Amino acid sequence: MIVTVKQGSNPQQVKRLTDWIKSLGLDVHLSEGEKSTVIGLVGDTSKVDIDLIRSLDIVEAVTRIQEPYKNANRKFHPEDSIVDVSGVKFGGKHFQMIAGPCSVESEKQVIGIAEAVKASGATMLRGGAFKPRTSPYAFQGLGLKGLEILKKAREATGLPIVTELMSERFIDAFAEVDMVQIGARNMQNFDLLKAVGRLGRPVLLKRGLANTIEEWLMSAEYIMSEGNMNVVLCERGIRTFEPYTRNTLDLSAIPILKEKTHLPVIVDPSHASGLSRLVKPMSLASVGAGADGLIIEVHNDPPHALCDGAQSLRPEQFDDVVRAIDVMLPLVNKERG
Amino acid sequence: MIVTVKQGSNPQQVKRLTDWIKSLGLDVHLSEGEKSTVIGLVGDTSKVDIDLIRSLDIVEAVTRIQEPYKNANRKFHPEDSIVDVSGVKFGGKHFQMIAGPCSVESEKQVIGIAEAVKASGATMLRGGAFKPRTSPYAFQGLGLKGLEILKKAREATGLPIVTELMSERFIDAFAEVDMVQIGARNMQNFDLLKAVGRLGRPVLLKRGLANTIEEWLMSAEYIMSEGNMNVVLCERGIRTFEPYTRNTLDLSAIPILKEKTHLPVIVDPSHASGLSRLVKPMSLASVGAGADGLIIEVHNDPPHALCDGAQSLRPEQFDDVVRAIDVMLPLVNKERG
Amino acid sequence: MIVTVKQGSNPQQVKRLTDWIKSLGLDVHLSEGEKSTVIGLVGDTSKVDIDLIRSLDIVEAVTRIQEPYKNANRKFHPEDSIVDVSGVKFGGKHFQMIAGPCSVESEKQVIGIAEAVKASGATMLRGGAFKPRTSPYAFQGLGLKGLEILKKAREATGLPIVTELMSERFIDAFAEVDMVQIGARNMQNFDLLKAVGRLGRPVLLKRGLANTIEEWLMSAEYIMSEGNMNVVLCERGIRTFEPYTRNTLDLSAIPILKEKTHLPVIVDPSHASGLSRLVKPMSLASVGAGADGLIIEVHNDPPHALCDGAQSLRPEQFDDVVRAIDVMLPLVNKERG
Amino acid sequence: MIVTVKQGSNPQQVKRLTDWIKSLGLDVHLSEGEKSTVIGLVGDTSKVDIDLIRSLDIVEAVTRIQEPYKNANRKFHPEDSIVDVSGVKFGGKHFQMIAGPCSVESEKQVIGIAEAVKASGATMLRGGAFKPRTSPYAFQGLGLKGLEILKKAREATGLPIVTELMSERFIDAFAEVDMVQIGARNMQNFDLLKAVGRLGRPVLLKRGLANTIEEWLMSAEYIMSEGNMNVVLCERGIRTFEPYTRNTLDLSAIPILKEKTHLPVIVDPSHASGLSRLVKPMSLASVGAGADGLIIEVHNDPPHALCDGAQSLRPEQFDDVVRAIDVMLPLVNKERG
């Protein structure tokens, strides 16, 4: 960490700052120029509160040299991590398709969709049992009953399941889930992150609505610092001023993450836009950007044919997306499955 | 809710949509013009998923007429709510100053600050026992021990205390806190909102980093729908592209909230900018905008004199802010305390 | 346009509103429900100031049914427009690569790069003669002399040229340019838009840093309303809170534009991130999203080998991007050139 | 400027970088630590392209020490600048109220409003002759005829006038205007900035919709670098994700600007929210934050009584705002006029 001190600062104040830095167990490398004094902090700066230093009256600017994340940092783990979810591998040359309904509604619905998406090439099943809803009056999901239905679909199809955990209260029930999803709204629910870190199941960590890439990696770090290294990141759109799409899918985040971290990264093109007709082009775009997989909403329920055009694809549309991706994967040195 | 159907839509699809709306228990008022068909939804639309309808292929636009919040809605409660926190009243003509240290460090520290801010006119004590930190390696607060220290400071000074709850696991311990703070990162931690709703203590609900005013009121609604009507909102800055300040304080939110809801609204000028030298001007600006109070960080610890210039004010700076506010309050028809 | 009137509004105020709407030459379709009054505006609403109506005290919400753009609207021109720039066609099945240096520095530099990128498959040459710079003290480009150099490179290689116009003062000089670029900062410089509309040369219209897709199409409409239909849109990143990239490339904008407009859309992956190592993945992502071309910065100047790693690609890196795109184009039904 | 080099960078690449820096006429101060190499740039770095250096492969981070603006920088001009607009003084202890109609419609309208606002205490008259409109089909203002009307109102009332210039083509006509307004959409129309710099009339420079404070000061610098030091800044709201208000008024910008620059800063509370009922609270908030004045829309045209509730105040509402401000000004050490 490099601290630039304001011109004309009181030398006593500078000394108080360097003394305080030393009291944190760090060495200080002082370089006094004509126009500015630069303080280099040597040692493990991950505990240093950068915002506190930045807000000091005598400080002009603070520059991090070491990233604040360690376990997630590619510098210390140059090879891609392969995260194994009950046999389904994320990272490296692997490309995985996760598919399933938005909400778990019934055994018949989920198994029907699971069979269809498996036939098209999906290797994991998604489905919401606990649903984060903006309104307390909206349907909040089937909860534990939904989990049971997902497990039955796993039994019926062999597909491992991923579903969202919203509260520490249900953590025990999630020990039987293959992969635990942390939703965007809980990306900085630090107690929940620690809890899934301790649980030890692979985690699908969605990016928060308005979180930077660095904050996202720090949330991965929370999970990993509890000993759970099996984290897959999922880009799902960030909040911007553009109203046509619900969120703006940030695909540049993928090549950046590939530099910064060894963790796999997948994309959720369904939630980002909220428009099913954008799922195919944004899926292909995600492959081009270097993603390790996709998680896509698929429905098959005829009485809800109404929802055609909404966020979810029909099974035949999903199949069409998988076929297009298959043509593209060799170009990015990846293989499906 | 008004649904505008795209020109040239298939009448059968329109019928499927209106049938589906009716199946939700709502009446439908259909108005077919030359250029467009407009569907009015009559009844309680608070359970209707507006995003789902918006994403349908045949839908051009959806317009809410009823706000999705009820308990928090000023339409149904035209009078200002007065939230009573152990005798300290928020709302109406009351203006309250909450002050205290960023983190609880020691009994001596907290009591010292509490006495100083009380002398200047603070009517409540704040202080972080559980600290939400971006990094798992940063100090996470004293936890339950911090709560005990706050309670001792309450005993010593008579000031009611407000402190942040980050996890349902500690909810029982917070039954003895006068006011439970829900932090920005947990504004959409829906399970936590329901839990503090059931706990029944007054709640200080901070706005999420990137949440709209409507989402904020929906989070208040989560708490209120559990029967807890004692919610005070706290604006603390939103995330924008501007890098000089940590966040951008959205003071226009205050007069808007005053229209939309009967709940009291206070402002946290310390966290928004992260710069103590902005606390005074932004405090006066908050009063001008119509806030019902302020929550301000104050420190008094000489060994940390280092932190001068950071987010926290010294007690004498806090006193100066209170004096300036006192001059201004009559202008906005408010009184301190 | 559908105007929803607030519950309990004074009927006289509603009448004044409908009278005013009629005074604009529009018909009014009034639908009075129990809970709300809905006013439909029938006729050409493109001149109606939606913000004015929205801000009226009696108005709950305003919903557009007709988009405010006409010439750019796919509803009225269902076929893709093909924009012909001196023989180079944009739109439909065509996919074009535009390449060249950031700034025009010398004849030798520009011709050298032009020959190299032409050999790799570029069909147009880009290069900045007038440079929009945040600082008045930074190099502002060679100006008219830069234009002359570009024209010489066109002569030498046969590649049509595109370069940025920043001021109406130089409009005459741009009559000899094959395609006039309007930069992001001038996207809402309405007088400049009208001027290039009158000039009649094909226009490359970059998206403003913080402009919505609708505002962008309205800027295209400014050019088209002067009779110049040859507009190509260029996505180049929007401003968000994420600091790793200079801007966030909004690739979802491409499939949305393909729905809303018949105009071609290309992507500038160099400026969006400011990082050359992101150019290849974001180029492939752009193809996947459905872009009609790319505009890429390429340099070849050995004394500036320093700049390796900056925004610009070396010619051999550009060649590598073109080769990868060629494999991908059949997948999206496009052909290069 | 401090450049931090990535760990493990090739010493030859570092040498090329330092050689290049020296070729720009700067001295280099190299500090090689165990973990990092830090390069200090000594000399006038205002011409250095920070983005270029930041994008180099070997560079970890770049930190500015000197701000890139000189003339606007308070470091070099510690005293508040007083900008004199035909006798009306901005800055220091002065607080000015500018008021007038959104658009100039007729002599009678403008003079009527001018007389009313002057009676309430306005010291300058505003009014749009050239109107920046998102749509080419919307009314674009009376143009030069509008300027003539404003000049007649000036004659009738003695109030100096401020109005927006949108194109260099009309610069001569603006030589007779007391203060030239540069609108938000033209904040980075650099040729227009240079032109008003050369014109020499006082300039009211509005902040761009999505521009940082530093970019704003750099636009002031463009004007000042042409020798025109009479620049008044005007905060008018920035673009965020919040939909209730048209823009989010960034009042923290005021105390920050007061630190960074000696130029006066005023606030436009009418345009920011687009809601007249927010004008009073946001005006008081602006005074609290330390603004040097306000620019407010006022209308008085009975046939448009329709517009009640829109962005503009009625004269009696404007009078009420001035009365409230008068009570508040002593608190911030300011006087009206």
The pLDDT tens digits for D260-290 are 999 999 999 988 778 888 999 999 999 999 9
How far away is chain B from the Cα of A332, in angstroms, using its nearest Cα?
A: 32
Q: Domains plus CATH for chain A?
A: 2-63 (3.30.70.1140), 83-336 (3.20.20.70)
Q: What is the pLDDT of residue C312?
A: 85
pLDDT tens digit sequence for D160-198: 999 999 999 999 999 999 999 999 999 999 999 999 999
CB distance from D64 to chain A under 8 Å? yes
Nearest CA among D253, A191, A114, C177 for reference residue B249: D253
Mean pLDDT of C169-188: 97
Q: Is A288 in contact with C328 (Cβ distance < 8 A)?
A: yes
| C-beta separation of C183 from C164 below 8 A | yes
Q: Which token pair is C289?
A: 């999203």
CB pairs under 8 A between B and C: 64
Among A40, A18, A34, A62, residue whose Cα is nearest residue D29: A34
The whole-number pLDDT of residue C204 equals: 98
Q: Which chains are adjacent to chain B, needing at least 3 Cβ pairs under 8 Å? A: A, C, D
Inform me whether the C-beta atom of residue B209 falls under 8 Å from chain C C-beta atoms: no
Q: What is the pTM of this model?
A: 0.94
Q: What distance in Å separates the CA atoms of residue B61 and residue A65, rounded to the nearest whole number?
A: 48
C-chain residue closest to B243, CA distance: C241
* Cβ-defined contact of B289 to D272 (cutoff 8 Å): no
CB-based contact, C161 to chain A, within 8 Å: no
Per-residue pLDDT reduced to its tens digit, B130-158: 999 899 988 899 999 999 999 999 999 99
* pLDDT at residue A266 is higher than 60: yes
Chains that touch D (3 or more CB pairs under 8 A): A, B, C
Highest-pLDDT range among A83-92, A326-335, B59-68, B136-145: A83-92
Helices (H), B79-161: 107-120, 144-157
Q: Which of D240, D278, D328 sits opposite B238 (nearest CB)?
A: D240
Do D29 and A31 lie within an 8 Å CB cutoff?
yes
What rounded mean pLDDT belongs to chain A?
91
pLDDT value of position C34: 66
- Cβ of D65 within 8 Å of Cβ of A35? The answer is yes
- From the list C16, C47, C194, the residue facing D137 with the nearest CB is C47
D306 vs B221, higher pLDDT: B221
State the amino acid at position D305 in one-letter form.
Answer: A
Residue A308 in this model has a pLDDT that exceeds 50: no
A324 touching chain C per CB within 8 A: yes
The confidence score (pLDDT) of residue A239 equals: 94
The pLDDT of residue B63 is 80
A272·C252 Cβ contact <8 A? yes
Question: What band does C308 get if pLDDT is binned at 50, 70 and 90?
Answer: very low
**Does the distance separating the beta carbons of A139 and B47 come in below 8 Å?**
yes
Q: Provide, as residue numbers in chain C, all residues whose Cβ is less than 8 Å from the Cβ of D17.
A: 306
- What ranges make up the beta strands (E) of A168-264? 179-182, 203-206, 231-235
The owner of tokens 């839990």 is B195
Q: Is C4 on the interface with B (CB under 8 A)?
A: yes
Q: Is the confidence at residue C35, as pLDDT, over 80?
A: no
D161 contacts D189 by C-beta, under 8 angstroms: no
Q: List CB contacts (< 8 A) between C248 and chain D.
A: none
Which pLDDT score, from 0 to 100, does residue C217 have? Answer: 98
A33, with CB counted inside 10 A (0-12, 13-18, 19+), is: middle
Neighbours of chain A (3+ CB pairs under 8 A): B, C, D
pLDDT for C7 beyond 50: yes
Residue B209 touches partner D, C-beta closer than 8 Å: no
Per-residue pLDDT reduced to its tens digit, B284-308: 999 999 999 999 999 876 445 454 4
pLDDT (tens digit, 9 = 90+) per residue, A205-247? 999 999 999 999 999 999 999 999 999 999 999 999 988 888 9
In this model, does residue B318 exceed pLDDT 90? yes
What mean pLDDT is predicted for residues C114-125? 97
3-state class of C326 per DSSP? helix
Q: Which are the contacts of D135, defined by CB distance < 8 A and separation ≥ 6?
A: C46, C47, C68, C218, C221
Residue B306 with chain A: CB contacts under 8 Å: 16-17, 20, 56
- Judged by DSSP in three states, B135 sits in coil
Task: Reply yes or no on whether the pLDDT at A18 is more than 80.
Answer: yes
Burial environment of residue B83 by CB neighbours within 10 A (0 to 12, 13 to 18, 19 or more): buried
Q: What tens digit of pLDDT does each residue of C278-297 get?
A: 999 999 999 999 999 999 99
pLDDT, tens digit, 9 for 90 and up, residues C79-115: 999 999 999 999 999 999 999 998 898 999 999 999 9
Quote ipTM for the complex.
0.92
Q: Highest mean pLDDT range out of A74-83, A293-302, B293-302, C49-58?
A: A74-83
In terms of CA atoms, which chain C residue is nearest residue B67? C60
Q: Quick one: three-class SS letters along C89-149?
A: EEECCEEEEEEECCECCCHHHHHHHHHHHHHHCCCEEECECCCCCCCCCCCCCCCHHHHHH
Say how many CA atoms lie within 13 Å of B180 toward its Cβ: 29
User: What integer pLDDT is reported at residue D35 of this predicted model?
Assistant: 67
| C60 contacts B35? CB cut-off 8 A | no
Alpha-carbon distance D280 to B175, whole Å?
A: 41
